[in-house]
Amino acid sequence: MCGSKTPSQYVDNFDEEYDVVVVGFGYAGGAAAIAAHDGGAKTLLIEKMPMPGGISICAGGGVRLAVDRDPVVEHLWETNDGTTPRAIIESFVDEMMLLDDYLEELCKVNDATTITIEGRGANYPFTGFDQMKFVEVDNIPGVDVLKEYPHARSHRNGTKLFKVVDDNVKTRGIEVRFSTPARRLITQNTNEVRGLWVDGPDGLKSIKATKGVILACGGFEAAPEMQRQFWQIYPVLSAAHQGNTGDGIKMATDVGADLWHMWHYHGTYGFRHPDPDYPFGMRMKRHPDWVPTKKEADIPMAWILADKHGRRFMNEYQPYTQDTGHRALDFYDTSKMEFPYVPCFMIADENGRERYQFGATIYNDSTIDPYEWSKDNLKEVQNGILKKADTIKELAELIGCEFTTLENTINDYNASVDSGAEDPLGRPPKTRLKIKRPPFYLGEIWPVVSNTQGGPRHNEKYQICNAFNQPIPRLYAAGECGGIWGFLYLAGANLTECFVGGRVSGREASAMSDWDS
């Protein structure tokens, strides 16, 4: 909104009144609303979209937990590489240590059962990488999450975890409003947040928040105009959700918030749908993560990636490809005035096509006809996501590159597979498969963002802070609306932060005295 359509930060009289208003109903918003309610606050939970879940419901559902506090603190300190203050990391891990019991308590609402996955270390071999585990919701008696949330598909158990959160919100009688985006924070010409404007089915309304507002409305995966201001690479396709357009970031900066980690996003590489109006990119098949020097990559990957000139340029199978797979694409060649790797091209042969499906879809959207990738990849050949070529020369023509360049690329790669020689780009040896059996397959590959990490800076209490690290009174963040991950992300830890940030912000906000008392 802009100009006269933007509501004011000041109102003469509020239309409605609550103690705490939580913006966004994913894991973080649900956890924040639960904590605020349990702290005695009259709580309103609003959601921009017509359905709940946000990007959270699309997640794998594994919550990363700490086994031993101090080594995990050191691990997060090293992986953040100075981008997040140590005090925040320490308080985060302190709360992380409490989540096992917390999740067990949440699961009582519908008799959900969990599994604990021990021995699943972190993604990188820093201090404490082996002092963590996962907890997942694996079963809820009598519940079919596909029927419960037909608009959502997750990787593994994300919808089951959301059902647990959803039922905890419902059993407490917390008021939830859908199709109700927040528009602007209200300060009443003071230095603190006193409410906000929301735009629901009944129109624009001002809501008084006597204790505080919690922004749990995610990042800016679906805001290309914001991405262009903070990222070099473009376009970047959103993986799963249209609702995260940076609303919380905009509202927070409007009242003086500082930002952090805006460059950082959790993403990989994947395909574009042939319909230009289809809102989501489709990530490539996920392979198991590996840990340098600690856990070997031993699952074959059926493809290589080539640039616009027919040359390989990256390790296609990184330790955590679903997180950093996009980073190698982020290069602008000023001598040629181009992004040589956007798009780039997946190349596979008939053996690869038969081996497994190349793409996978996740989504949370009730407004689309969701795309489901075929098991044999043949539907994608028919609809043009994949193109078939009988020869390497035809592949080169499809790319628009020199035949000899592409031929040399494939021959060199195949020779390294035969010899077992070290790949110059770092691809693990057991992940390599020869590309030799025609027909061959080509797919345009684009950077894909699953979720952003940046947003409003916060302190240990999840109070949003200004550029001088001073809290903006009565304004809080939770989840991916300004996460702590500033350099290397830890798998499963966005979910951890949703629950940590939700619990802390809800607890802190509900403990505030009323500003009008």
Q: Which pLDDT does position 46 carry in this prediction?
A: 99
**What domain range is 387 assigned to?**
271-449
Q: Check whether residue 372 and residue 469 sit in a common domain.
A: no
Cα 49 to Cα 97, 223, 492, 502, distances in angstroms = 33, 15, 24, 20
Tell me if 271 sits within 8 A of 415, measured CB to CB: no
Which of 449, 472, 501 finishes a domain?
A: 449
Same domain, 222 and 304: no
Per the prediction, the chain carries an average pLDDT of 97
- 165 and 195 co-located in one domain: yes
Q: Are residues 293 and 201 in the same domain?
A: no
Q: Is 119 part of any domain?
A: yes
Tell me which of 449, 478, 502 is where a domain ends: 449
| Predicted local confidence at residue 2, as pLDDT | 41
Rounded distance between C-alpha atoms, residue 157 and residue 177, angstroms: 25
Instruction: CATH number of the domain at 197, please.
Output: 3.50.50.60
179 in the same domain as 222: yes
Question: Is 5 among the domain residues?
Answer: no
Structure confidence at residue 119 (pLDDT)? 85
- pLDDT value at position 28? 99
Let me know if residue 6 belongs to a domain: no
Same domain? For 130 and 279 the reply is no
- Indicate whether this model's pTM tops 0.95: yes
- Any domain includes 393: yes
Helices (H), 336-492: 350-355, 378-383, 392-399, 403-419
Name the phi and psi angles at 463, rounded to 5. -75, 130
- CA–CA distance, 31 with 503 (Å, rounded to integer): 6
**Is residue 97 domain-shared with residue 226, that is, in the same domain?**
yes
Q: Is residue 53 part of a domain?
A: yes
Task: Please state, as a whole number, how many other Cβ atoms lie within 10 Å of the Cβ of residue 205.
Answer: 16
Average pLDDT (18-39) is 99
Per the structure, how many domains does the chain have? 2
| Same domain (yes/no): 71, 179 | yes
> Is 95 domain-assigned?
yes
Same domain for 467 and 404, yes or no, is no
CA distance 329 to 341: 5
Q: Does residue 9 fall inside a structural domain?
A: no
Residues 47, 131 within the same domain: yes
Q: How confident is the model at residue 68 (pLDDT cuts 50, 70, 90)?
A: very high
Domain with residue 427: its CATH number is 3.90.700.10
Q: What percent of the chain has pLDDT over 70?
A: 99
Q: Tens digit of pLDDT for each residue in 467-503? A: 999 999 999 999 999 999 999 999 999 999 999 999 9
Residue 107 lies in a domain: yes
In terms of domains, do 445 and 488 share one? no
From residue 127, alpha-carbon distances to 95, 149, 486 in Å are 20, 39, 18
> Sorting pLDDT into bands at 50, 70 and 90, what band is 208?
very high
Would you place residue 61 in the very low, low, confident or very high pLDDT band (cuts 50, 70, 90)? very high
In this structure, the answer to whether residues 342 and 468 fall within a common structural domain is no
What digits encode the pLDDT tens for the residues 164-173?
999 999 999 9
Separation of alpha carbons 51 and 408, rounded Å: 50
Find out whether the peptide bond into 471 is cis, omega within 30 degrees of 0.
no
Which sign does the torsion angle of CA 333, 335, 338, 341 carry? negative
Domain boundary among 403, 420, 449: 449
